[in-house]
Structure 1
Amino acid sequence: MIEKSLFIGGLLLVFCNFCVGQKSVENKKAKEFDANYRIVFTDPPRKIPVPYSVDAPLLGNGYTGVAISGRPEKQVYYIAKNDFWRLKNGYNESFPAVLGKIEIDIPELTGATYHLEQNLYDAKTYSIFKKNDAELNYCTYVSAAEDLMIIQLSLKGNQKVNGKINLLLPGKNEIIDNPPLDNKFPAKEETGIEEDGIMWISRAFEKDVDIPTQSAISMNILNEPSNTFTLAPGKKVIIACAFSSNFKSDNCVKTVIDRVAVINKSALKEIEKKHHAWWRDFWSKSYVDIHDDLIEKQYYLSNYSMACFSRDKDFPPSIFGTTITKERPYWNGDYHLNYNHFAPFYGLFSSNHIEQATPCIIPLLAQKERGEYYSEKICGIDGGIMLPVGAGPLGIETTRRNELMEKFRHYTKDGNEEEGGLFFGQRSNSAYCVVNMAMQFYYTYDLEFTKMVYPFVKGVATFWENYLTFEDGRYVIYNDAIHEGTVGTMNPILSLGMVRMVMQTAIDMSRELEVDAERTDNWQYVKDHLSDYTYQERQGKKVFRYTEKGTAWWGGNTLGIQHIYPAGQIGLDSDPELLQVAHNTIDVMQRWIDFNGSNSFFPAAVRVGYNPDTIINKMHKYIENTYPNGFQQNNPHGIENFSTVPNTINEMLCMGHGGVLRVFSVWPEKKDASFYNLRIWGAFLVSSEVKNGEVLYIDILSEKGRICNVLNPWPGNKVQVSRNGKKAETLEGERFFFTTSIFESITLKKHN
């Protein structure tokens, strides 16, 4: 085994190769990473607390999230947990909740300058507040190794400052009071101070819920007898906080109190060491170097944010991640199944961050029984799965009909609600659920994962093979909706793409598991005989029509190209005429910065080979339209766009769509770049570099020993294959394929 080292931020980043001879990655120096990829805030956040996307610095460990707000004299840390929800089936009855906040009051800093930086590599936040001869420094991190937060205050200068630290339950600023559209859902709230000065709070939803929830925070101010302090130059105040819930502990209050009670200076060193180790491992999973600091910064910020939000398998991040600062959040902060829930995770598969990607899928499996109910009740299809728009954790349905829906939303009168479920006329939600299951399947070929999700995929395939109408030699989709509320349309282009994806995924999974062989022929027949896409002319160009009958076009959103991505039904191997229509549609839509769909528009452009220079230029404009924390400006939709940059760049550098490995196929000709360990279809980890327009090598690590199919990056030249560091066969042709063994390392170079 060869280890490749990269010093970033003063820490050692280790790349482990599985064999001798794999090409070393061109790595960046520590000072370059620190200078270019630090996230800087020069003004206090303004959009906090709000029931939508905040503009504040974000921290987290995948279980607990923190958003920092306030001016220098009053720093406020908003705390939320992935598993702290009010869980009740019903419209506006279930939502992720605010857990609490920490306020640090230092009145002497009123009028101080504000400067905050986040180091992405070590996942620490540094604040510097200056006034006269005083400079107060904060260093804050949420431990990646356990559910803790550490805040350290230190002072420079010649004067002391006095402060007070409070651990508080949510107040009136954090609770929405908007009758009659928003019911109040009082929580059971408790606070306490132990004899040793440890403070704690607890919130619980226990009455009139389907699943009780409770979460707790404890706070210990090390070496301080109370929550007031005097900080002298050269001294430190250290705050240790612990978090837990009833899903992680039998007595979460006792758990958090006991944990902070034993934290001392020695323990802090071990906590910090484990925190650094986790993030070092996270960043070692993959790497890109495209000589574009703006894009690279957004790339790493996006993956950092998803690492902060997503590790709890039963409780993935909701629309706003774990930055819940006001309850109830927009759209109940739920898992919206007509794209919003799935989009944040798109880029994690190719970035080789599977641990962060998997949680998206787990709550969907818990919806299987309810999906079967709707399939049978509404459509008479036994064994199918058909889901409404809203879901929550542990099988909770967040948009189920109740008195509030009937009285105020009029959904029951507009055909949007069916048998208690809010569908907006769309039949594609359960098919959309299969998107990320399919991605994880094709990117990993993990047999245990496939066994886990196959019953759900099979149920969705069962629904569609029975729901479709066969007429005039083709399958037709009736009574569906392309957009919410466009009830009753025919052959929506999104559903046509999604159904094809579902059928192919069901076929491939069943063959991998060696089950249901008798079903695959019919699934293949359905896919092969599904209606073709329909077309129209706009701006003098032939483009896709959104439906065959019904809605032709839409002024926003990107559903008109989602059969390309994420459904994956058009790519570089598609019929040239179809590819031209796809290009034309991208030209006419121009939805690069869209309220709902930038996360699908950019990768769709890559999948069809759109001009790469244009894609890069549009990405620059897209990034310039974000807050420092990565959220889109004036877009309340939350974390869904954290996939946009990583996913797009990964696809441009290394595409495996359709089972064909392509490196730099949609990349600017004059732009040098390299990447390490990007994951593609077939469970291959790929590294490569292009310089002066020529690909220097391709390194491939085969996790599952599958056949590798490669588009020759050296047209007209033979290719030398090396296996585990030793020269092997020579290949040639526009495309070639070769067998691999499990964990075999393969290098491809132009044959001299």
Structure 2
Amino acid sequence: MKVFLRLPLLLIIVIQLCACQKREANPAKQIIGKHKAVFTQPPKKIPVPYSVDAPMLGNGFTGVAISGQPEKQVYYLARNDFWRLKSSFNQSFPAVLGKVEVTIPGLKDASYLVEQDLYSAKTYSKFRTDNHEVQFKTYVAANEDVMLLEINYTGEGKLSGSVNLQLPGKKEFINKPPFDLIFPAVTDRGKTEDGIYYISRAFEEDVDIPIQATCALNIIGNESNSFEISEGKPVTIVLAFSSNFKSEDCLQVVKNRVAGLNLKEIKEIESEHENWWADFWSKSYVDINDSIIEKQYYLSNYSLASFSRDKDFPPSIFGTCITKERPYWSGDYHLNYNHFAPYYGLFSSNHAELAIPCNMSILAQQERGEYYSEKVCGIKGGIMLPVGAGPLGIETTRRNELMEKHRTRWIEEGNVEDEGLFYGQKSNSSYAVVNMAMHFYTSYDKEYTEKYYPFVKGVATFWENHLTWENGRYVDYNDAIHEGTVGTVNPILALGFIPLVMQTATDMSHELGKDTDRIEKWQHILDNLSDFSYQERDGKTVFRYTEKGTAWWGNNTLGIQHIYPGGQIGLNSDPDLLEVAHNTVDVMQRWIDFNGSNSFFPAAVRVGYNPDTILVKMQKYCKNTYPNGFQLNNPHGIENYSTVPNTINEMLCMGHGGILRVFPVWPEQKDATFYNLRTYGAFLVSSELKGGKVSFVTINSEKGKTCTIKNPWPGNKVRLARNGKGSEILEGDVISFQTSVNETIKLNL
């Protein structure tokens, strides 16, 4: 310490300036800080039983959607762990907790502007009249279930307002008996002696799992719900949230939390919130010199980070922002793609932690999947899942009296088997393996491999017993490609997913040293599964959707999902097969589709489709959105949040087929940079393309796997350095080298 005290003052200042500049040189902040979600008019699609067009914010547990005119802002409140939980058709769904109404009559006819800063995850609302401006700063704290709302005023005089914490009202319910009912809930709403307002909703009657969610509100320094704002004197409103899954007496917990908060502690909460998001964004980033696509890229990951952090309760098909009770499709986890698609891009973006809730919710379905495998197909130890699922093993489409009365056609046409709604499809469990496989291959995390393996093995068990060995090949009989196409033979989706399941089971078995005696059978299926079927359309050879049955479909993207997410075709594939894949993309043109754009774009990348075309189509896709990133007039919601990040990541850095490629499907003259994209082998990869040339490649190896990479400088020798030391010379079109755990490899010309 004494040595530093003796340094010349000028030198001390220089050192401090350098330290400040180093802290400020944050590429993630510079890149992501440019992007905001901007709303210039009040949302119209709220409350609705599908995707809202409103500003959305959350912390992965609690979600908030903002609506209303300037003079009456309405904050819809929901939680991932607040469902009506009953395994029964049309009787289980994510529910609305309540809403906060902030009324300031003096803002009538004010201008409207809401901006969401993606980097800080704060929302700023600005309402201006001729005489004054009111600014709302809102965020849901990243580190605890607290929402902060600060109201500031600029202008002369003062404005009066009020805050009301409400339970859902008539607008928030669908009531169309006998099919659409309002189910009874136990509710409580009131005010404590010290001015704390609270609400509670619970489902206790005729449910499989009782549930309660609570919220409490406090206006700091006020004992009533009325307030006055003047310049330099902001009003601060705090809300706390909980459920019976998070605390034993969840109502008392939220009352105590808001009662004990003061302005100093709120500042600490805000600082921790900012640090969490800064750390989140520092895990990876891309810079592609395209403001339209880049904004959607970061808006997508912002939204998933806002929605998906509760391991036992992933968000519904519409995210955490539920604004109308009993949303479409019961807001459930639809297992014939919708539940899995939102998470496709999180692994490559180095945010696997956000995808874990999806996988955990599926592990909770294992027992039911084993039941159906044995009861419907006679396969003991297998796993076959129906289409609808909810949290904690709840089955949202289970046959009941309502289905028997109002959906008799489903039963008559064979869509219902035993108690389960399957639509004839056998691949729902295989869809579930997709994200487990991605997590496994991109991390080799032993803890999660141990958790996933029994499920993956169960799905492999189902297929090895369901397939028929016939004339030297395995055939998938009595399956369906699309919902209701019962009884088809070799649907192309299954032919893409079965190898994924068998390969994943094999590799997990090797990694864990378990069930190695079963690998021979799994490999035999891999080697002898039926080939894809083909047809002619528009003068081109394309894939046929089934060998026997449905040949084509006018929308949706099941015709290419054996490519992605099935992963059975890539840049290493046979040229003739790649040509058919190209032809199929050409003929389908499903870039903006009601179902499955999230598969179509990355499938085009996987087969090396023209990158300029992909980016042009992606710009159009990005413009076809509400300001919150949801696709226009597509009610499905969060499934489309994977489309842009996943596609861009694959274009910049691809590990498919066991070969790492940088800028594999990217316009050569379009400069781009990426940092810490995660790829197969548990590698974190960074690189830059500038002036048509790759500047460098840095690879951080987490697990010490062998790395095989397509030479970024074709025809040239490559210089390799390990942890900044040494120099090895490698050459060839494809180069391979061993890595060590936590080793940093840098490749240069």
TM-score by length of 1: 0.96
Other-structure match for 2:401 = 403
Other-structure match for 2:96 = 98
Deviation at 1:159, TM superposition (A): 3.1
Q: Identify if the C-alpha distance between structure 1 residues 439 and 645 changes in structure 2 by more than 3 Å, giving closer, same or farther.
A: same
Other-structure match for 1:4 = none
Deviation at 1:318, TM superposition (A): 1.2
CA distance in 2, matches of 1:548, 1:667: 35
Deviation at 1:183, TM superposition (A): 2.3
Asked if 2 retains the 8 angstrom alpha-carbon contact of 1:341 and 1:360, the reply is yes
Q: Identify if the C-alpha distance between structure 1 residues 127 and 492 changes in structure 2 by more than 3 Å, giving closer, same or farther.
A: same
1:233-287 CA distance string (max 9 Å, x none): 2211100000000000000001101111111011011101110110010000001
1:491-533 CA distance string (max 9 Å, x none): 0000110001100000000000011111001000011111000
1:125 paired to 2:123: yes
Deviation at 1:11, TM superposition (A): 12
Asked if 1 retains the 8 angstrom alpha-carbon contact of 2:28 and 2:281, the reply is no
1:689-710 CA distance string (max 9 Å, x none): 0111110100000000100010
Deviation at 1:357, TM superposition (A): 1.3
Other-structure match for 1:552 = 551
Other-structure match for 1:144 = 142
CA distance in 1, matches of 2:528, 2:142: 49
Unaligned runs of 5+ residues in structure 2 are 1-17
Asked if 1 retains the 8 angstrom alpha-carbon contact of 2:534 and 2:542, the reply is yes
Deviation at 1:727, TM superposition (A): 2.5
Asked if 1 retains the 8 angstrom alpha-carbon contact of 2:689 and 2:695, the reply is yes
CA distance in 2, matches of 1:56, 1:184: 25
Other-structure match for 2:51 = 53
Asked if 2 retains the 8 angstrom alpha-carbon contact of 1:370 and 1:387, the reply is yes
1:13-58 CA distance string (max 9 Å, x none): 787xxxxxxxxxxx3774x754x40111000000000000000001
Asked if 1 retains the 8 angstrom alpha-carbon contact of 2:59 and 2:309, the reply is yes
Other-structure match for 1:381 = 379
Deviation at 1:12, TM superposition (A): 5.6
* Aligned pair partner of 2:171 in 173, 176, 188: 173
Other-structure match for 1:744 = 743
Asked if 2 retains the 8 angstrom alpha-carbon contact of 1:339 and 1:432, the reply is yes
Asked if 1 retains the 8 angstrom alpha-carbon contact of 2:32 and 2:298, the reply is no
1:355-384 CA distance string (max 9 Å, x none): 111111001111111111111111111100
CA distance in 2, matches of 1:566, 1:39: 29
CA distance in 2, matches of 1:629, 1:184: 29
CA distance in 2, matches of 1:539, 1:226: 70
1:304 paired to 2:302: yes
Other-structure match for 2:501 = 502
1:367 paired to 2:350: no
CA distance in 1, matches of 2:139, 2:133: 20
* Aligned pair partner of 2:181 in 157, 161, 183: 183
CA distance in 2, matches of 1:101, 1:413: 43
Other-structure match for 2:705 = 706
Q: Identify if the C-alpha distance between structure 1 residues 11 and 590 changes in structure 2 by more than 3 Å, giving closer, same or farther.
A: farther
Asked if 2 retains the 8 angstrom alpha-carbon contact of 1:720 and 1:727, the reply is no
1:69 paired to 2:67: yes
Other-structure match for 1:648 = 647
Other-structure match for 1:330 = 328
Aligned 1:271-290 pairs, distance under 5 A: 271-290=269-288
1:696-734 CA distance string (max 9 Å, x none): 100000000100010001111110000000123111000
Other-structure match for 2:578 = 579
Deviation at 1:489, TM superposition (A): 0.5
CA distance in 1, matches of 2:729, 2:93: 58
3-state SS in 2 of match to 1:99: strand
Asked if 2 retains the 8 angstrom alpha-carbon contact of 1:13 and 1:283, the reply is no
CA distance in 1, matches of 2:182, 2:398: 18
Q: Identify if the C-alpha distance between structure 1 residues 84 and 700 changes in structure 2 by more than 3 Å, giving closer, same or farther.
A: same
CA distance in 2, matches of 1:365, 1:265: 42
Other-structure match for 2:107 = 109
Instruction: State the 4+ residue runs in structure 1 displaced beyond 2 angstroms.
Output: 10-15, 27-30
Deviation at 1:622, TM superposition (A): 0.3
Other-structure match for 2:205 = 207
Other-structure match for 1:19 = none
In the alignment of these two chains, the number of paired residues is: 729
Aligned 1:603-642 pairs, distance under 5 A: 603-642=602-641
Aligned 1:473-622 pairs, distance under 5 A: 473-622=472-621
1:445-469 CA distance string (max 9 Å, x none): 0011100010000000000000001
Asked if 2 retains the 8 angstrom alpha-carbon contact of 1:173 and 1:326, the reply is yes
Identity over aligned pairs, percent: 68
Other-structure match for 1:240 = 238
CA distance in 1, matches of 2:29, 2:232: 31
Q: Which amino acid in structure 2 is aligned with residue 167 of structure 1?
A: L
3-state SS in 1 of match to 2:497: helix
CA distance in 1, matches of 2:73, 2:227: 15
CA distance in 2, matches of 1:661, 1:159: 64
CA distance in 1, matches of 2:54, 2:485: 36
Q: Which amino acid in structure 2 is aligned with residue 408 of structure 1?
A: H
CA distance in 2, matches of 1:219, 1:404: 39
1:301-357 CA distance string (max 9 Å, x none): 000000000000000111001010001010011110000000000000000001111
CA distance in 1, matches of 2:624, 2:630: 9
Other-structure match for 1:680 = 679
1:141-162 CA distance string (max 9 Å, x none): 0000111000000111113211
CA distance in 2, matches of 1:14, 1:239: 34
Q: Identify if the C-alpha distance between structure 1 residues 130 and 400 changes in structure 2 by more than 3 Å, giving closer, same or farther.
A: same
Asked if 2 retains the 8 angstrom alpha-carbon contact of 1:388 and 1:422, the reply is yes
Asked if 1 retains the 8 angstrom alpha-carbon contact of 2:335 and 2:386, the reply is yes
* Aligned pair partner of 1:37 in 22, 26, 35: 35
Deviation at 1:184, TM superposition (A): 2.2
Other-structure match for 2:714 = 715
Other-structure match for 2:449 = 450
CA distance in 2, matches of 1:357, 1:380: 32
Asked if 2 retains the 8 angstrom alpha-carbon contact of 1:86 and 1:94, the reply is yes
Q: Which amino acid in structure 2 is aligned with residue 607 of structure 1?
A: R
3-state SS in 2 of match to 1:618: helix
Deviation at 1:110, TM superposition (A): 1.1
Q: Which amino acid in structure 2 is aligned with residue 428 of structure 1?
A: S
CA distance in 1, matches of 2:224, 2:374: 61
Asked if 1 retains the 8 angstrom alpha-carbon contact of 2:29 and 2:119, the reply is no
Q: Which amino acid in structure 2 is aligned with residue 116 of structure 1?
A: V
3-state SS in 2 of match to 1:84: strand
Unaligned runs of 5+ residues in structure 1 are 1-6, 16-26
Deviation at 1:224, TM superposition (A): 1.4
CA distance in 2, matches of 1:13, 1:224: 39
Asked if 1 retains the 8 angstrom alpha-carbon contact of 2:28 and 2:285, the reply is no
Q: Which amino acid in structure 1 is aligned with residue 673 of structure 2?
A: S
Asked if 2 retains the 8 angstrom alpha-carbon contact of 1:673 and 1:690, the reply is yes
Q: Which amino acid in structure 2 is aligned with residue 310 of structure 1?
A: S
CA distance in 1, matches of 2:520, 2:225: 69
1:590-616 CA distance string (max 9 Å, x none): 000000000000000000000000000
Other-structure match for 1:21 = none
3-state SS in 1 of match to 2:175: coil
CA distance in 1, matches of 2:181, 2:24: 50
Q: Which amino acid in structure 2 is aligned with residue 637 of structure 1?
A: H
Q: Which amino acid in structure 2 is aligned with residue 67 of structure 1?
A: A
Other-structure match for 1:231 = 229
CA distance in 1, matches of 2:227, 2:283: 42
Q: Which amino acid in structure 1 is aligned with residue 127 of structure 2?
A: F
Deviates more, 1:686-695 or 1:406-415: 406-415
Deviation at 1:91, TM superposition (A): 0.3
CA distance in 1, matches of 2:283, 2:28: 16
1:470 paired to 2:469: yes
Deviation at 1:164, TM superposition (A): 1.0
CA distance in 1, matches of 2:164, 2:316: 28
1:461 paired to 2:499: no
